[in-house]
Structure 1
Amino acid sequence: MRFAVLSTALLSFSFSFVSAVPIADGTPSNSTIRKRASGVTWNPWGAAYQTYDYVVVGGGLTGITVAARLAENPATTVLVIEAGGDNRWDPRVYDIYNYGQAFGSELDWQYPTDAGKTMVAGKTLGGGSSINGAAWTRGLAAQYDAWSSLLTPDEASLNWDWNSLFNYMKKAIYHFPRSLHCADGVDSYHGFNGPVQVTFPDDMYGGPQQKAFAQSIQTLTGIAKSPDLNGGQPNCVSFTPNNMNWHDGDRRSSAPAAYLTPVESVRTNWITLVNHQVSNLLWATDDSKWAYGVKFKQADNSGQDYEVYVRKEVILAAGAIGTPALLQRSGVGDPTHLSSLGINTVLNLPTVGKNLQEQTMNALGAAGNGFDPAGRGPSDVIAYPNLYEVFGSQANSIAQTIWSSISQWADAQKGNALSKAALETIYQSQADMIINKKAPIVELFYDTGYPDMVGVLVWNLLPFSRGTVKITSTDPFIKPQINVNYFAVDMDTTIQAASSKLVRKLFKTAPLSGLTTGETIPGFSAVPDPNNNGGSDTEWKQWVKNTYGPVNHPVGTCAMMRQDLGGVVDGHLKVYGAQNVRIVDASIMPTQISAHLSSTLFGIAEKVADMIKNGQ
């Protein structure tokens, strides 16, 4: 495999007339001629005190995607500011078989949360798309359609629905179909002209384990086997592709690898500044709610503060943790909270940082019997059972409990939302998805070799628990307080425990049972099974709470909803009350979906780029 070696300080210069210093009302002057840089640089003077059409805060998945599409117009100037480095040629990034090596390193924000858990988030060019597991899945069509129901009728007409996002998700990718070791696909679910490479790996596992998992979960639950779950119906078991580049030795096809690397030497109107963190938005002094630029500093908190200015829009793409924190530091949020930190309120939006939804995961394992996995992965088979497949004969009782508990849960969680009434409306939509639309409630991710030779990762996809992200200081280098409130709603524990119990039964179901010598994690000493019925719900719940971790899929903290439901952005993804601040990242997703986030986020970014180009 041939590896390219390029400097992370790559600069190409073009001469441009650019403004350098704002005058008193926040309007940039036109007094200075500078050289404007393009490409990727760590040198702040390639960008500082200059004016761009668009300033994108965050060079992660969505930020790079939006910037790339806007920069397709050579007359449009774009600056991306990313706190992490340019690590495209770091094997922890480009080699997908090194998955997990970036966790806990300088490439990871390592956000501390409640209960002593740490949330992984990519602090590198490409964000999560540079360090995640690269699974390519999409949610239930009805889940996307439901987003429109949380908007006003006028904004719902902007087509935040499955059909629109499906087309944009397809626009993002170039799919290379392969039929390898039972893997399959449906061509019409994918695009063939986009920059993100999606395929199955060359060294895909060819042993018996993945096929056995798929057959056993079908036998145990009756779930359907699908050739491709990416068509809006993920309630199935299916082999799922990865975003990896089959042209280049199965390298990770991250956002920068797909959208930036191929064009960075020719897009002289686009600069990406790495290793610098934005601290604040700069607001005009005339009460117009116009953000005329941003303030930033080196990400190691050394050196001076810099500013940069914007003609059209500031686009926030710092993620479900970073974006609400930046807004709060910039005077956008709950006035009571902001005033306690000495921050003047620019926009009264009390739900900035609220409505946080994060999933929880447990890992179960069984010892292998010596079978040959025949490959090195990644693992590519996932089951997405619904309520009725997880709970069986108990499902109707669980459904009734959900409906009858909505008011109680909303009352208990109202501090993490706009109000009890608003949260009840959101919960009713969520319950409808689970009970009537039969959205998958859990992901069962088959994982060869973790936590034992036969492994299954279990996570609750649609938690009812809600949390918050709140800054505790005006210092941008102090991480915000993140309260996920894991299992604050007991139904989340019930679903996680029942799904784990289901996996215990799966280990005993042929043909998967023929590949193991028995369950090792949690094992029967940790969760006894004296009657051979799977073990008690009480003991499963205790084990779940003792051993879970975050899935690292936070959403909802700047939700796209009506303001009376606690929305922070409208259907254009513009911050309510601000003239020119837009958010394009997972924070705008009002609810979780039954999928990994990457494909959806690429689709959101592609859609918003078109909206901006069309003047929406």
Structure 2
Amino acid sequence: MINLLLVWVVLLREALSSFAAVVTNPVLASNRTFDYIILGGGLAGLTVANRLSENCTISVLVIEAGQDNRDDPRIYDIYQYGSTHGTSLEWSYPSNGGVIRGGRTLGGSSSVNGAIWTRGTKQQYDAWSQLLDPIDASVGWNWDGLLSYMKKAESFSAPTSQQRAKGADYVASCHGSRGPVNVAFPNLMYGGPQQSYFASVMVKFGLAKNPDLNGGTPNCVSFPPLSLNKNDGDHRSSSATAYLSPVESTRTNWMTLVGQQVTKIIFNPSTVHPRVATGVQFGTLSGARYTAFARREVIVAAGSIGSPKILQLSGIGDATALSSLGIASIVDLKTVGKNLQEQTINIMAANTTYFDVGGRGPSDAIAYPNIYQLFGTQANAMISHIQSSLPAWAASQAGSALSAGALRNIYTIQSNLIIAQNAPIAEVTFKTKNSGDKIGTNIWQLLPFSRGTVQISSSNPFDIPEIKVNFFAIDFDMATQIAAARFTRHAFQTAPLSTLSTGESLPGFTLVPDSPDHGSTANWTSWIMNNARPVAHPIATCAMMSRSLGGVVDAQLRVYDTKNVRVVDASIMPIQISAHLSSTVYGIAEKAADLIKNAQN
């Protein structure tokens, strides 16, 4: 009896002493009750966990499938970006358009991404409210309601005089100064002629040079900052280093369990409408299954692939599809995993004469052309094509949405942003290398009309879901990718950038012969189809929209027909924005934390 008591005391002491820490032992969370359980320790999950645990009377459990790799140089060294590709530090999700990557480590994709810090147009955020029921307009899912939260996440460091001489600039009102995430220009910022030459060519092509594209007007060429800590050797500033590291030794009400995968949400069988979650099940492929209980809410933050997968495994999704897998329906919500929007990237490069690149990088010059700048004299014809094609496009993509009618309404808003609001439709990111073909670009179409799906094909929670991105199912998406390629080829051939180039090396004139319009449609299509890959910016699989349009969550981010299950990550974004996702998703998570707090008052 004494020995059993001693064992119990030791286990209790270990549990209490590790409650604030990152732990690997699932027993420490098993059969315990927490106020909030957050499924995913990525960008959004750790942000929400930090804000909820500010109240010392609230207990929070975060469950993350990856490990704590904050001390791995492949994670913290921003100059090693790309070294995590194909490793255990990333999810690799096969799709019918290539592999979609995502961070499988504490901090999620904020620990492995390119760290570029940009925001979309004001009108794109305002469009989110248009997709909600009118009663939800006051919640503030728009530019004015999100900017303060995006700034709340940020601690911006203004560029030095040396960095400004290299092209860096800023507008103070666009940034926060006291948030957890460090945002700055790299200390080793490139200072050679290449980035300024690229900006000069973009100005010739009709894009204004904007000192700061984070103010809601990204239709420009600019030098954006990165999520890095300039006072710590340009180390990456991720959600793990920003929201967890500073408080993990003092927040005795927050446990982060790594190396465990959530297998399903558990619901109270006696509460039918709305459904009430009571906890979650988790475990490993070859290990035991455990259960933790939620006193207040379960918050799903597993990303645009992981979040719909967890909901479906839990019985929230298309009841017919789930029934075929032996999963009982909890909420028949047919659009879980639908409305997937992912972008396609191609890489172009040019050989160069010798020149001093003037630093180490990372590259941080970006152009965001709109439809008029990208298509030039063909823009009006392309606009007419969009306007006349919306019904047919919606009908062709109806299987990846609630219905053709719902999708046509969404398309109408999306096309208006492109045609009337000058939303950038392509990103052209200038890239510098220290050897070989020293100049190049990453190009992608930002606002695809093609839609896809994420759907589990097995009840085994460790199986990867079937992902259909359906790239280029809509011809406008291919036309935009081709236009961006021609745009880049033309840029390589335009002074002053042309003074550095000795000729395009990728794809080169053998694969895509040059012509007065910078390459034929047939040749560009063939090259793009053989070389395009996912950008790794998937969104909308748990879209925040009215249910009549195919939404999965409402304006409070609650899953429809549930009382206490929310989704907080990029999957709630209803349509793509003309930007990288990090700043926006931090804003979503910061706002979500306040919505959750207010719900308990």
Q: Which residue is 2:5 aligned to?
A: none
In structure 2, what is the Cα distance between the partners aligned to 1:587 and 1:85? 22
After TM superposition, the structure 1 = structure 2 runs for residues 162-561 of structure 1, keeping only pairs within 5 Å, are 162-179=143-160, 180=163, 181-219=166-204, 221-288=205-272, 289-298=275-284, 301-449=285-433, 452-529=437-514, 531-561=515-545
In structure 1, what is the Cα distance between the partners aligned to 2:358 and 2:25? 46
**Which of 60, 64, 77 matches 1:95?**
77
How many Å apart are 1:241 and its aligned residue? 0.2
**Which of 63, 84, 89 matches 2:45?**
63
How many Å apart are 1:48 and its aligned residue? 1.1
Superposed CA offset, 1:331-354 (max 9, x none): 000011101101111001000000
In structure 1, what is the Cα distance between the partners aligned to 2:444 and 2:354? 28
Q: Structure 1 371/443 Cα, relative in aligned 2: closer, same or farther at 3 Å?
A: same
Bigger mean CA offset, 377-386 vs 606-615: 606-615
Q: For structure 1, which runs of at least 5 residues remain unmatched after alignment?
A: 1-11, 17-32
Q: Which residue is 1:7 aligned to?
A: none
Give the counterpart letter for 1:525 in structure 2: T
Give the counterpart letter for 1:43 in structure 2: N
Q: Which residue is 1:51 aligned to?
A: 33
Q: Structure 1 15/607 Cα, relative in aligned 2: closer, same or farther at 3 Å?
A: farther
Q: Structure 1 13/244 Cα, relative in aligned 2: closer, same or farther at 3 Å?
A: farther
1:154 equivalenced with 2:135 (yes/no): yes
In structure 2, what is the Cα distance between the partners aligned to 1:547 and 1:296? 38
Percent identity reads 54
Look up the SS of the partner of 2:373 in the other structure.
helix
In structure 2, what is the Cα distance between the partners aligned to 1:128 and 1:538? 35
Look up the SS of the partner of 1:38 in the other structure.
coil
In structure 1, what is the Cα distance between the partners aligned to 2:217 and 2:427? 14
Look up the SS of the partner of 1:273 in the other structure.
strand
Give the counterpart letter for 1:350 in structure 2: K
Given that residues 13 and 36 in structure 1 are in contact (C-alpha distance below 8 angstroms), is that contact kept between their aligned partners in structure 2?
no
Q: Structure 1 434/290 Cα, relative in aligned 2: closer, same or farther at 3 Å?
A: same
In structure 1, what is the Cα distance between the partners aligned to 2:458 and 2:218? 42
Q: Which residue is 1:78 aligned to?
A: 60
How many Å apart are 1:13 and its aligned residue? 9.5
In structure 2, what is the Cα distance between the partners aligned to 1:448 and 1:35? 48
Give the counterpart letter for 1:209 in structure 2: Q
In structure 2, what is the Cα distance between the partners aligned to 1:443 and 1:359? 10
Superposed CA offset, 1:442-466 (max 9, x none): 0000011299311111000000000
Q: Which residue is 2:576 aligned to?
A: 592
How many Å apart are 1:532 and its aligned residue? 3.5
Superposed CA offset, 1:328-385 (max 9, x none): 1110000111011011110010000000000000111001111111111010110000
In structure 1, what is the Cα distance between the partners aligned to 2:36 and 2:148? 25
Give the counterpart letter for 1:53 in structure 2: D
Q: Which residue is 1:8 aligned to?
A: none
Look up the SS of the partner of 1:615 in the other structure.
helix
In structure 1, what is the Cα distance between the partners aligned to 2:16 and 2:197? 63
In structure 1, what is the Cα distance between the partners aligned to 2:17 and 2:489? 63
Given that residues 138 and 596 in structure 1 are in contact (C-alpha distance below 8 angstroms), is that contact kept between their aligned partners in structure 2?
yes
Superposed CA offset, 1:427-483 (max 9, x none): 000000000001000000001129931111100000000000000111111000000
Look up the SS of the partner of 2:432 in the other structure.
coil
Q: Structure 1 215/13 Cα, relative in aligned 2: closer, same or farther at 3 Å?
A: farther
Look up the SS of the partner of 1:341 in the other structure.
coil
Q: Structure 1 309/36 Cα, relative in aligned 2: closer, same or farther at 3 Å?
A: farther
**Aligned residue-pair number:** 584
**Which of 558, 561, 571 matches 1:577?**
561
Give the counterpart letter for 2:277 in structure 1: A
Give the counterpart letter for 1:149 in structure 2: Q
Look up the SS of the partner of 2:342 in the other structure.
coil
Look up the SS of the partner of 2:215 in the other structure.
coil
Higher helix share: 2
Superposed CA offset, 1:584-605 (max 9, x none): 0011000000000000000000
How many Å apart are 1:542 and its aligned residue? 1.7
Give the counterpart letter for 1:62 in structure 2: A
Given that residues 559 and 569 in structure 1 are in contact (C-alpha distance below 8 angstroms), is that contact kept between their aligned partners in structure 2?
yes
Give the counterpart letter for 2:119 in structure 1: R
How many Å apart are 1:287 and its aligned residue? 2.9
How many Å apart are 1:533 and its aligned residue? 3.1
After TM superposition, the structure 1 = structure 2 runs for residues 81-160 of structure 1, keeping only pairs within 5 Å, are 81-115=63-97, 117-160=98-141
Give the counterpart letter for 1:90 in structure 2: D
Q: Which residue is 1:27 aligned to?
A: none
TM-score (norm 1): 0.93
Q: Structure 1 306/541 Cα, relative in aligned 2: closer, same or farther at 3 Å?
A: same
Give the counterpart letter for 2:39 in structure 1: V
In structure 2, what is the Cα distance between the partners aligned to 1:88 and 1:47? 22
TM-score (norm 2): 0.95
How many Å apart are 1:38 and its aligned residue? 2.1
RMSD: 1.5
After TM superposition, the structure 1 = structure 2 runs for residues 23-42 of structure 1, keeping only pairs within 5 Å, are 37-42=19-24
Given that residues 43 and 109 in structure 2 are in contact (C-alpha distance below 8 angstroms), is that contact kept between their aligned partners in structure 1?
yes
Superposed CA offset, 1:256-299 (max 9, x none): 1001001000000000000000000001010341110000003x
Q: Structure 1 549/419 Cα, relative in aligned 2: closer, same or farther at 3 Å?
A: same
Superposed CA offset, 1:54-102 (max 9, x none): 0000000000000000000100100000000000000000000000000
Give the counterpart letter for 2:104 in structure 1: K
In structure 2, what is the Cα distance between the partners aligned to 1:532 and 1:161? 43
Q: For structure 2, which runs of at least 5 residues remain unmatched after alignment?
A: 1-9
Q: Which residue is 2:6 aligned to?
A: none
In structure 1, what is the Cα distance between the partners aligned to 2:497 and 2:179? 37
In structure 1, what is the Cα distance between the partners aligned to 2:192 and 2:527? 31
Given that residues 333 and 348 in structure 1 are in contact (C-alpha distance below 8 angstroms), is that contact kept between their aligned partners in structure 2?
yes
Look up the SS of the partner of 2:102 in the other structure.
coil
In structure 2, what is the Cα distance between the partners aligned to 1:13 and 1:253? 35
Give the counterpart letter for 1:302 in structure 2: S
In structure 1, what is the Cα distance between the partners aligned to 2:462 and 2:535? 24
